[in-house]
Amino acid sequence: MQLDHYVNTIGRHLRGRFGERVHKLPLHANFTCPNRDGTLGRGGCTFCNVRSFNRDEAAPLAHQLDEGRTKMHRARRYLAYFQAYTSTYAEVATLQRLYEEALAGADIVGLCVGTRPDCVPDAVLDLLAGYRARGYEVWLELGLQSAFDDTLARINRGHGFAAYADAVARAHARGVPVCTHLIVGLPSETPEHSLDTLDRVLELGVAGLKLHPLMIVKGSRLAAAWRRGEVAPPDAGHYADVATEMIRRTPAPVVYHRVSATANAPTLLAPPWCAGRFEGIHAIARRLAATGGQGSLTTRPLPPTPASSNPT
Ligand code: SF4
């Protein structure tokens, strides 16, 4: 079942802009994170063990890009996706060197930069706005996870919703599209929390969203709580129900970069369905086919946001 019949996926969005398949190539540029290096804290977010999705020592960017091209051989054009840790957490000159090293490939048509809301100073936003002005596809990917400050404190994010609102306003002032990451099933949260979080994100305006279920991974602080039976990640059906409702409430122009997530064994401890790539996606697509796709429950227009593409 094709998800992009019902959802404005990033794949569909990029095919619309470039007329062909464009894939994201994940990169690790040896950044760290202020929630791990002691600036804000040392433990990191309770759900996080970045070893679960990235190697320890990063290879040169050119090598990583070549490796990605080999794996994603069904595309001829790509977005360089600075994914690991906090990919704006360095001097602007360093960021500029790294981003431009990635953009140097003739087949690289844009940049996605994953970071925290409290790590995007104006100079970084100006740098990203400059790439967009040159015709690149640009996305600032902000990890928010929840709009509730008590949840954010409980998972040790080290920032509140106000930091997110501030980053979004400054990004929008420069025309930089934001993709917001949200987690469904965080400790003590109900489906209503997820829906309220979505509402608050949409109220501020957003060009892209990424959803994923709470996953328990080895080495994270939540792993111990899960072993003690204090935390239970959502099962596939529950997650699909909540994600489907969120997608239906999302205005059609918003681009979904992801609607579920996977992790590899043995790093993944729970839920087991996240070991497979398609179970969550297919469950959501089936529900959307039966109930109506993205935007079918939207009651209000999206506030003005930077368009998610910049026609050249
Ligand atoms: S989730 Fe992101 S912000 Fe949180 S500890 Fe991990 S790398 Fe840092």
Question: Which range marks the domain in which residue 123 is found?
Answer: 3-291
Expressed in angstroms and rounded, the spacing between residue 157 Cα and the centre of ligand 1 is: 7
Q: What is the CATH number of the domain that holds 54?
A: 3.20.20.70
In a domain, 171, yes or no: yes
Tell the residue nearest (CA) to atom 6 of ligand 1. Answer: 48
Dihedral sign from CA coordinates of 79, 85, 86, 87 = negative
Choose which residue among 30, 31, 32, 33 to substitute to test ligand 1 binding: the one with the highest number of ligand atoms within 8 A of its C-beta: 33
Give the three-class secondary structure for 26.
strand
| pLDDT band per the 50, 70, 90 thresholds, residue 173 | very high
Contact 222, 252 (CB under 8 A): no
Instruction: Give tens-digit pLDDT for 135-162.
Output: 999 999 999 999 999 999 999 999 999 9
- pLDDT beyond 70 at 310: no
Contact 150, 143 (CB under 8 A): no
C-alpha span between 299 and 302 (Å, rounded): 10
Contact 252, 239 (CB under 8 A): no
Expressed in angstroms and rounded, the spacing between residue 176 Cα and the centre of ligand 1 is: 22
| pLDDT band per the 50, 70, 90 thresholds, residue 53 | very low
Average pLDDT, the chain: 93
> How large a percentage of the chain has pLDDT more than 90?
84
| pLDDT band per the 50, 70, 90 thresholds, residue 57 | confident
Q: At what angle do helices 61-71 and 92-103 cross, to 10 degrees?
A: 40
Nearest ligand 1 atom to alpha carbon 84? 7
Tell the residue nearest (CA) to atom 5 of ligand 1. Answer: 44
Tell the residue nearest (CA) to atom 2 of ligand 1. Answer: 85
Expressed in angstroms and rounded, the spacing between residue 45 Cα and the centre of ligand 1 is: 5
Q: Are strands 77-82 and 22-27 parallel, antiparallel or unpaired?
A: parallel
**Closest C-alpha to 172, from 137, 118, 129, 109:** 129
Q: Which segment of 45-59, 127-141, 164-178, 241-255 scores lowest on mean pLDDT?
A: 45-59
Nearest ligand 1 atom to alpha carbon 156? 4
In a domain, 303, yes or no: no
Dihedral sign from CA coordinates of 157, 161, 164, 166 = negative
b/e burial code for range 226-258 (CB count within 10 A of at least 16 → b): beeeebebbebeebbbbbbbbbbbbbeebbbbb
**Predicted local confidence at residue 117, as pLDDT:** 97
Expressed in angstroms and rounded, the spacing between residue 186 Cα and the centre of ligand 1 is: 15
Q: What is the mean pLDDT of residues 244-255?
A: 97
- pLDDT beyond 50 at 217: yes
In a domain, 249, yes or no: yes
Instruction: Give tens-digit pLDDT for 111-144.
Output: 999 999 999 999 999 999 999 999 999 999 999 9
Contact 110, 137 (CB under 8 A): yes
Beta strands, E only, the chain: 22-27, 77-82, 108-115, 137-145, 178-184, 208-213, 216-217, 255-258, 268-270
Expressed in angstroms and rounded, the spacing between residue 2 Cα and the centre of ligand 1 is: 32
Expressed in angstroms and rounded, the spacing between residue 193 Cα and the centre of ligand 1 is: 21
Nearest ligand 1 atom to alpha carbon 43? 5
Expressed in angstroms and rounded, the spacing between residue 292 Cα and the centre of ligand 1 is: 34
Q: Are strands 255-258 and 208-213 parallel, antiparallel or unpaired?
A: parallel
Expressed in angstroms and rounded, the spacing between residue 300 Cα and the centre of ligand 1 is: 33
Nearest ligand 1 atom to alpha carbon 157? 4
**Predicted local confidence at residue 307, as pLDDT:** 62
Residue carrying structure tokens 């401890």: 269
Instruction: Give tens-digit pLDDT for 26-47.
Output: 999 999 899 988 898 877 999 9
In a domain, 198, yes or no: yes
Residues enclosing ligand 1, CB less than 6 A?
A: 33, 35-36, 44-45, 48, 50, 85-86, 116, 143
Contact 82, 127 (CB under 8 A): no
Task: Count structural domains, the chain.
Answer: 1
**Predicted local confidence at residue 302, as pLDDT:** 67
